[in-house]
């Protein structure tokens, strides 16, 4: 697949930085955008801060908030232009309270990972390999 | 999927492609039980009549007789018991319309069948790593 | 008279559509058995294990190489048949970025010295970006692939005129013999045997069709000393029929 945009939704600055660093070390060719919360993310998908072309991938931890994450994913699945986005849920939370709801929204993967910089690279590397073997539809 | 091996259903009409997947699985030490359906109609029958245990993963071809992959996906996503299964499209179709339809029906990935077996092995190895990373 | 002409045009359009559908279906459906041949060859190789007879090894490898070439040709044919059906989105393209990025794709593995000169009034242009990129890559690929010298040079020049972008890609390679220069835009035509330089000969045919689609021009001229010059006239305003 060619170059696409990836939107990361997480309010922990340190973790966003860690992931950004890992992306550059693994040499992920896609452009990484980040949003601190669901509202900010929504404005980047269908609002004042809209990213074009629309990101092909969203990465989000849905166990940080009660059900905001699930509401956000539901809204995406109900939106004509956004519903095709691939969603990867990454989480370091031990409780999987939102897992079933997320799987029912047909996320592409529910992934437990630790966000420490040494262990992050192997995770990102597998994800990146996977993104490289799949095809995406042409840009919108 | 680290602990127990989830079931995988392959929906594919081409005999050689079925052999291809089986061979690539065995070369990559993928031991998951693999069930095969020859087209969408057959796959739905297997899933609905519960002849086979419910798979967590479906590998789906698009161009098939009787019921193609996209039609199968549509019906599957409307079935409460089947709708949350992870679907990976594996096809020769490089048509944008097929990719759009598949992603609109929320497949986890759309993979083009490569010509060479060596490349296919690499793709399957990548898939295996990805499956091991994910909780299904 | 008018009526007849209209009828002729209709028939022509119908025929063209039928032809394109035919090419698409044929090349698409032939891919499955082709892949089977390629895969089964690999299985045979694997199952044979170490083979003493080197001819068997060489023939299996030839078989795979030719199936591979067949696939590339099929992909070329498929692409040619779809030129006026896919990637028809207009979007804003930064011409200098597009040129630099296209060259960058060839730089790491080609031992070629590239030069890029641009005279632009406006860097950005709303156009069929994917198509423009395709043509540029295909002309650059030719300049790089058929190069036979130690000291390889490819020059790219872009000049913006009132109505067009004129893109000139020149190389100091072997050039194209005068007597075959008229054939290079035909599908699958290659100046040398496909065994000498592994290529399908589809790139220029596809480029030529794209240039017709956008109402531009592509032409070949021989270089002053040696080498080839490809000139592209890409119109700033593109009007697609239908």
Mean pLDDT of chain C: 87
Q: Is residue B65 part of a domain?
A: yes
Percent share of chain C, pLDDT over 90: 39
How high is the ipTM of this complex?
A: 0.91
Strands of B34-37's sheet in order across: B34-37, B8-11, B57-60, B86-91, B109-112
Average pLDDT score over residue span C58-86:
87
Q: When comparing pLDDT for B3 and C235, which is higher?
A: C235
Of B15, B71, B11, B20, nearest to B42 by C-alpha is B11
Q: What is the pLDDT of residues C95-144, one digit of tens each?
A: 989 999 899 888 877 788 899 999 988 888 899 998 999 999 999 998 88
Confidence of residue C63 (pLDDT cuts 50, 70, 90): very high
> Is B115's Cβ below 8 Å from some Cβ in C?
yes
Q: Is residue A81 part of a domain?
A: yes
Strands of A5-9's sheet in order across: A31-35, A5-9, A57-60, A86-91, A109-112
A–B CB contacts, 8 A cutoff, strictly below: 74
Q: Is residue A138 part of a domain?
A: no
Minimum distance, in Å, between the CA of residue C195 and any CA atom of chain A: 29
Q: Is residue A85 part of a domain?
A: yes
Q: Which residues of chain A have pLDDT under 50?
A: 1
Q: Is residue B111 part of a domain?
A: yes
Domain count, chain B: 1
Q: Is residue B99 part of a domain?
A: yes
A 110-139 near C (Cβ less than 8 A): 138-139
Q: Is residue B2 part of a domain?
A: no
Domain count, chain A: 1
Model confidence at B25: pLDDT above 80: yes
Token reading at C213: 């689609």
Minimum distance, in Å, between the CA of residue B56 and any CA atom of chain A: 11
Can you tell me the distance from the alpha carbon of A76 to that of B95, in angstroms, rounded to the nearest whole number? 24
Confidence of residue C80 (pLDDT cuts 50, 70, 90): confident
Confidence of residue B2 (pLDDT cuts 50, 70, 90): very low
Q: What is the pLDDT of residues C2-27, one digit of tens each?
A: 788 888 889 988 988 888 778 777 77
**Phi/psi at A64 (nearest 5 deg)?**
-80, -35
Confidence of residue B1 (pLDDT cuts 50, 70, 90): very low
Q: Is residue B127 part of a domain?
A: no
Query: Which chains lie within 8 Å of chain C at 3 or more CB pairs, if any?
Result: A, B
CB contact under 8 A, B109 and A133: yes
Q: Find the CATH number of the domain harbouring A25.
A: 3.40.50.2300
Average pLDDT score over residue span C178-203:
82
Token reading at C203: 């790139």
Domain holding B83, by residue range, is: 8-119
Can you tell me the distance from the alpha carbon of B71 to that of B67, in angstroms, rounded to the nearest whole number? 6
Q: What is the pLDDT of residues C196-215, one digit of tens each?
A: 777 788 889 999 999 999 99
Q: Which of B16, B63, B96 sits opposite C39 (nearest CB)?
A: B16
Q: Is residue B37 part of a domain?
A: yes
CB contact under 8 A, C39 and B117: yes
- Within 10 Å of residue B131's Cβ, how many Cβ atoms? 23
**Contacts C73 to B, Cβ<8 Å:** none
Q: Is residue A62 part of a domain?
A: yes
CA B63-C188-C183 angle, to 5 degrees, is 145
Q: Find the CATH number of the domain harbouring B27.
A: 3.40.50.2300
C 79-118 near B (Cβ less than 8 A): 86
CB contact under 8 A, C87 and A138: yes
Burial of B49 (0-12, 13-18, 19+ CB in 10 A): exposed
Dihedral sign (CA C206, C207, C209, C213): positive
Domain holding A71, by residue range, is: 5-133
> Is C79's Cβ below 8 Å from some Cβ in A?
no
Q: Is residue B19 part of a domain?
A: yes
Percent share of chain B, pLDDT over 70: 98
Position A126 scores a pLDDT of 94
Can you tell me the distance from the alpha carbon of B96 to that of C79, in angstroms, rounded to the nearest whole number? 13
- Within 10 Å of residue A39's Cβ, how many Cβ atoms? 12
B49 phi-psi bin (left φ>0, alpha ψ -120 to 50, beta other):
alpha
Model confidence at B21: pLDDT above 70: yes
Position A84 scores a pLDDT of 94
User: Alpha carbon C12 to chain centroid distance?
Assistant: 26
Q: What is the pLDDT of residues B44-101, one digit of tens each?
A: 999 999 889 999 999 999 988 889 999 999 999 999 999 999 999 999 888 888 999 9
Mean pLDDT of chain B: 92
Q: When comparing pLDDT for C239 and A88, which is higher?
A: A88
Q: Is residue A140 part of a domain?
A: no
Write down all domains in chain C, each with its CATH number in brackets.
2-82 (1.10.287), 91-235 (3.30.565.10)
**Contacts B124 to C, Cβ<8 Å:** none
Can you tell me the distance from the alpha carbon of B26 to that of B37, in angstroms, rounded to the nearest whole number? 19
Of A25, A23, A26, nearest to A34 by C-alpha is A23
Residue C208 in contact with residue C131, Cβ under 8 Å? no
Q: Is residue B85 part of a domain?
A: yes
Confidence of residue C1 (pLDDT cuts 50, 70, 90): low
CA B49-B52-B55 angle, to 5 degrees, is 110
Residue C205 in contact with residue C186, Cβ under 8 Å? yes
Residue A89 in contact with residue A111, Cβ under 8 Å? yes
Predicted TM-score of the model (pTM): 0.81
Model confidence at C41: pLDDT above 80: yes
The distance between the two most distant Cα atoms of chain A, rounded to a whole number of Å, is: 39
- Within 10 Å of residue B60's Cβ, how many Cβ atoms? 26
Can you tell me the distance from the alpha carbon of B28 to that of C83, in angstroms, rounded to the nearest whole number? 39
CB contact under 8 A, B111 and A135: yes
Confidence of residue C40 (pLDDT cuts 50, 70, 90): very high
> Is A106's Cβ below 8 Å from some Cβ in B?
yes
Can you tell me the distance from the alpha carbon of C42 to that of B48, in angstroms, rounded to the nearest whole number? 37
Q: Which of B14, B23, B96 sits opposite C43 (nearest CB)?
A: B23
């Amino acid at each position: 697949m060619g170059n696409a945009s990836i939107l990361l939704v997480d309010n922990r600055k340190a973790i966003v930085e860690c992931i950004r660093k890992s992306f550059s070390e693994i040499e992920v060719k896609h452009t990484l955008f980040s949003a601190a919360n669901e509202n900010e993310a929504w404005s980047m998908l269908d609002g004042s801060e809209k990213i074009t072309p629309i990101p092909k991938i969203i990465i989000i931890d849905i166990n940080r908030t009660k059900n905001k994450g699930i509401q956000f994913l539901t809204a995406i699945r109900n939106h004509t232009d956004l519903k095709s986005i691939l969603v990867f849920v990454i989480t370091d939370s031990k409780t999987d309270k939102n897992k079933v709801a997320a799987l029912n929204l047909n996320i592409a993967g529910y992934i437990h990972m630790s966000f420490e910089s040494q262990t992050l690279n192997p995770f990102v590397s597998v994800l990146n390999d996977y993104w490289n073997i799949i095809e995406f539809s042409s840009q919108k | 999927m680290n602990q127990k091996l989830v079931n995988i259903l392959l929906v594919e009409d081409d005999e050689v492609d079925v052999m291809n997947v089986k061979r690539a699985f065995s070369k990559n030490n993928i031991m998951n039980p693999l069930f095969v359906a020859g087209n969408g109609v057959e796959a739905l029958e297997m899933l609905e009549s519960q002849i086979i245990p419910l798979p967590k993963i479906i590998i789906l071809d698009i161009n098939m007789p009787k019921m193609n992959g996209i039609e199968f996906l549509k019906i599957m996503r409307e079935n409460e018991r089947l709708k949350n299964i992870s679907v990976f499209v594996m096809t020769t179709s490089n048509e944008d319309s097929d990719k759009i339809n598949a992603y609109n029906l929320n497949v986890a990935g759309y993979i083009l069948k490569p010509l060479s077996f060596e490349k296919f092995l690499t793709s399957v190895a990548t898939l295996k790593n990805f499956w091991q990373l994910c909780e299904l | 008279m008018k009526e007849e002409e209209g009828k002729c045009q209709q028939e022509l359009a119908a025929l063209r559509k039928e032809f394109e559908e035919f090419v698409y279906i044929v090349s698409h459906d032939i891919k499955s058995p082709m892949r089977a041949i390629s895969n089964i060859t690999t299985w045979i190789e694997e199952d044979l294990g170490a083979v003493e007879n080197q001819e068997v090894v060489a023939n299996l490898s030839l078989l795979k190489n030719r199936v591979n070439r067949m696939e590339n040709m099929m992909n070329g044919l498929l692409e040619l048949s779809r030129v006026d059906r896919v990637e028809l989105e207009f979007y804003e393209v930064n011409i200098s970025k597009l040129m630099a990025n296209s060259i960058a794709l060839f730089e790491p593995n080609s031992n070629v010295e590239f030069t890029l000169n641009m005279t632009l009034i406006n860097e950005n242009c709303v156009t069929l970006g994917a198509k423009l990129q395709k043509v540029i890559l295909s002309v650059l690929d030719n300049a790089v692939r058929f190069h036979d010298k130690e000291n390889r040079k490819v020059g790219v020049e872009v000049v913006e005129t009132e109505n067009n972008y004129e893109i000139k890609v020149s190389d100091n390679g072997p050039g194209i013999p005068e007597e075959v220069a008229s054939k290079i835009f035909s599908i699958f035509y290659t100046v040398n045997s496909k065994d000498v330089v592994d290529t399908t000969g589809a790139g220029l045919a596809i480029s030529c069709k794209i240039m017709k689609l956008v109402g531009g021009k592509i032409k070949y001229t021989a270089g002053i000393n040696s080498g080839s010059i490809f000139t592209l006239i890409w119109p700033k305003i593109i009007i697609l029929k239908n």
